[in-house]
Amino acid sequence: MSVRIVIGSDHGGLELKDAVKAYLLERGIAAQDLGTNNLDSVDYPDFGEKVARAVAASAETLGILICGTGIGMSIVANKFPGVRAALVTDDFMARMAKEHNNANIVVLGGRVVTPEQGCAMVAAWLDASFEGGRHQQRLDKIARIEREVAGSRS
């Protein structure tokens, strides 16, 4: 399976996004940048939605989201069925996000971590593999909850 990576940030995450994109290119991965591309103040939900929508639409797409703290982007992304966005603050959390939660979006805080730390977290997440087993049972429960909540809103 060929994996596609989409990346997005608000103005608070732009510097870290640029560093992560450069790191990915060093690894031979060209991420599709969904914005923003300058330091003008923007609304993080606009970019979180773009990335989460792309990830929700394709099992072969992974996402990286960055805002000032990562909190806002996490909230937005996790509104989409099938998205498992994990806000991480160190390499261990990034690895566990994939191994235990099969996170398909990793979220970083541009004002919380350095570019070096952010790139290391992205590496840990990308290099980890989902363990399945008991963890899949838990993800199945999350998917059931998503379906039930969506059905109750109809």
Catalytic residues: 67, 100
Please name which of 7, 104, 99 lies closest in space to residue 59, comparing C-alpha atoms: 104
Of 81, 72, 88, the C-alpha closest to 123 is: 88
CA distance 105 to 81: 13
Instruction: Judge whether 122 and 105 are in contact, CB under 8 Å.
Output: no
Our separate counts of H helices and E strands in the chain read 6, 5
Residues 6+ apart with CB under 8 A from 17: 7, 8, 9, 33, 64, 66, 110
